[in-house]
């Protein structure tokens, strides 16, 4: 049987390898709502949206969001309509442990996740669970959050409870979603909650303790649960792709890539572990130039290097877009204020010509994704990559989302190109199943395969054109070009 049609319209069908998984995703704060129901306590996104509503462009919050806390059966029905293999969702820490500590488990929160997991399994849809997708308990934040070394224990205890409660049925665990966004955006800038904005200072200890906490969860799983539960546990990193604006920017581009992805990938996935040596050297040098007595980037002890190295069964990857990099002399010379921007010393930007429509929020550069996948294969010895997020944001709420269709087809084709080259990519996740609370963009930017009507109390979900296209790709395990 030929897999390509060479007749008239020259289209070709490209097959995915056997066992390749297709799924879609969400995150607790973005979809659940029920922010203070059934014993759930406040997390940093509840706090942020209630205290400083102006940080969200439409001054909205996730208080109700998609109301998935009550409508999860409809969510599972959508996954069935799409015929997907798995659903990636996250647990709300404060729904399970409202006091933040392991002594008081909130049964109502546990029931919600049990119901969701059981509903998925009833229809043969694998639950893929993210332990932490940004909604840290507010109480833990007040004690320093990810910059407090005790968070390694707090998070470890929480992870153990999740493995105990759900690990008999959950076989895919993701420890953290996008550490760069958590630490750099949340601690080193004011871009995301908790918006600490202590650049070049708070983001580095955050990175260290987040990596140690991730490793703690991995070791707990390995030592206490893996033998009986037989699951997979990994971290999801966000990787943008960067291109030099001109030849003079080539080194700076590599540095940007290193501060974005390498800072987390190197300690876990490289042979030697630890921070990328060049990054360590840059932050140490700049810190001394600025009058610090030591590097703003805390060291790992040799034991910690070993504790973190190799602690991910798969390379979870979220990817959205590509940016150009140019060396920005003003930033490079301005050493007075220590910041990650100074440490990198570059300016990044995407081209408007990469937009697929006037409404596009995400710039589409499928060949950038191919180059990133190639970089990961070459840099980290061809790890098994699971694409845990990829999708297009748009200001258009309509159902005829041709730009999203084009985005998915282009990016999925890039995955196939990388597989052809020998990359070991084993799954693809469309971000996201349905429109939801898009952090600072509130409900103004939509990513969903399903449209959500926020005017209706039922939060009516309706499939977009992209849902039908993605369904067909998942059904045929192929892309026709």
Sign (positive/negative) of CA torsion 324, 422, 258, 211? positive
The minimum distance between CB 188 and ligand BGP, in angstroms, equals 16
Nearer to ligand BGP, 75 or 389 (CB): 389
Q: One of 32, 245, 389, 438 is an active-site residue; which one?
A: 389
Nearer to ligand BGP, 109 or 442 (CB): 442
Sign (positive/negative) of CA torsion 303, 261, 408, 389? positive
Nearer to ligand BGP, 189 or 238 (CB): 238
DSSP state of 14: E
Whole-number Å distance between alpha carbons of 139 and 341: 29
Nearer to ligand BGP, 57 or 121 (CB): 57
Nearer to ligand BGP, 309 or 319 (CB): 319
Structure tokens at 481: 């070009």
The minimum distance between CB 393 and ligand BGP, in angstroms, equals 5
Nearer to ligand BGP, 137 or 448 (CB): 448
Three-state SS sequence of 122-140: HCCCEEEEEEECCCCEHHH
Whole-number Å distance between alpha carbons of 251 and 254: 5
Cβ(263)–Cβ(207) under 8 Å?
Answer: yes
Nearer to ligand BGP, 245 or 438 (CB): 438
- Using a 10 angstrom Cβ sphere, with 0-12 exposed, 13-18 middle and 19 or more buried, the burial of residue 353 is exposed
Nearer to ligand BGP, 132 or 380 (CB): 132
Give the residue closest to ligand BGP by C-beta: 320
Structure tokens at 168: 């008999």
Residues 213, 216, 217, 221, Cα dihedral to 10°: 170
DSSP string, 249-308: GHHHHHHHHIIIIIHHHHHHHSSS-SS-HHHHHHHHHHHHHTT-SS-SSPPPPHHHHHHH
Catalytic site includes residue 389: yes
Cβ(459)–Cβ(452) under 8 Å?
Answer: yes
The minimum distance between CB 273 and ligand BGP, in angstroms, equals 25
Instruction: Give the Å distances, CA to CA, from 174 to 4, 51, 324.
Output: 37, 30, 30
The minimum distance between CB 90 and ligand BGP, in angstroms, equals 9
Cβ(308)–Cβ(300) under 8 Å?
Answer: yes
The minimum distance between CB 458 and ligand BGP, in angstroms, equals 24
Phi, psi of 231 (to 5 degrees): -105, -175
The minimum distance between CB 26 and ligand BGP, in angstroms, equals 8
| Length of the chain measured in residues | 481
Which residues of the chain form contacts with ligand BGP (CB under 6 A)? 27, 30, 177-178, 181, 238, 318, 320, 362, 389, 393, 431, 438-439
The minimum distance between CB 52 and ligand BGP, in angstroms, equals 19
The minimum distance between CB 41 and ligand BGP, in angstroms, equals 21
Task: Give the residue among 240, 252, 177, 180 at the shortest CA–CA distance from 369.
Answer: 240
Cβ(372)–Cβ(241) under 8 Å?
Answer: yes
Active site residues: 389
């Amino acid at each position: 049987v030929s897999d390509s049609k060479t007749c008239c319209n020259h289209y070709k069908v490209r097959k995915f390898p056997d066992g390749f998984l297709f799924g879609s995703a969400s995150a607790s704060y973005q979809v659940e709502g029920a922010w203070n129901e059934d014993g759930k306590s406040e997390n940093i996104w509840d706090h942020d949206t209630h205290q400083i509503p102006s940080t969200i462009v439409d001054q909205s919050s996730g208080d109700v969001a998609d109301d998935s806390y009550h409508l999860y059966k409809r969510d599972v029905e959508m996954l069935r309509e799409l015929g997907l293999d798995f659903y990636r969702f996250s647990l709300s820490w404060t729904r399970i442990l409202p006091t933040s500590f392991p002594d008081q488990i909130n049964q109502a929160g546990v029931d919600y996740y049990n119901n969701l997991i059981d509903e998925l399994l009833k229809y043969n849809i694998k639950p893929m669970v993210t332990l932490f997708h940004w909604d840290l308990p507010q109480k833990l934040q007040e004690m320093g959050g990810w910059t407090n070394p005790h968070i390694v224990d707090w998070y470890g205890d929480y992870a153990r409870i999740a493995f105990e409660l759900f690990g008999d049925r959950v076989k895919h665990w993701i420890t953290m979603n996008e550490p760069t966004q958590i630490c750099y955006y949340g601690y080193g800038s004011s871009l995301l909650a908790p918006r600490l904005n202590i650049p070049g200072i708070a983001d580095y200890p955050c990175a260290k303790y987040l990596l140690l906490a991730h490793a703690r969860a991995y070791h707990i799983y390995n030592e206490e649960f893996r033998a009986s539960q037989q699951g997979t546990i990994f971290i999801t990193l966000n990787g943008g792709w960067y291109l030099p604006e001109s030849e003079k920017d080539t080194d700076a581009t590599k540095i940007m890539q290193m501060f974005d992805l390498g800072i987390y990938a190197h300690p876990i996935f490289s042979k030697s572990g630890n921070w990328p040596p060049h990054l360590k050297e840059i932050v140490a040098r700049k810190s001394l130039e600025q009058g610090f007595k030591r590097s703003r980037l805390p060291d790992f002890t040799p034991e910690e290097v070993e504790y973190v190295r190799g602690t991910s069964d798969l390379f979870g990857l979220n990817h959205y877009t590509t940016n150009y990099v140019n060396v920005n002399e003003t930033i490079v010379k301005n050493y007075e204020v220590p910041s990650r921007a100074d440490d990198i010393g570059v300016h990044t930007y995407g081209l408007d010509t990469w937009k697929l429509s006037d409404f596009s929020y995400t710039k589409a550069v499928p060949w950038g994704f191919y180059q990133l996948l190639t970089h990961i294969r070459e840099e980290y010895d061809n790890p098994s990559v699971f694409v845990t997020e990829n999708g297009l944001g748009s200001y258009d709420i309509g159902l005829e989302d041709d730009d999203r269709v084009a985005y998915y087809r282009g990016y999925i084709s890039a995955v196939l190109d990388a597989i052809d080259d020998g990359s070991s990519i084993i799954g693809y996740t469309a971000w996201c199943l349905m429109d939801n609370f898009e952090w600072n963009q509130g409900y103004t930017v939509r990513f969903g395969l399903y449209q959500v009507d926020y005017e209706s109390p039922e939060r009516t979900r309706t499939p977009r054109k992209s849902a039908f296209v993605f369904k067909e790709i998942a059904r045929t395990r192929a892309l026709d070009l």
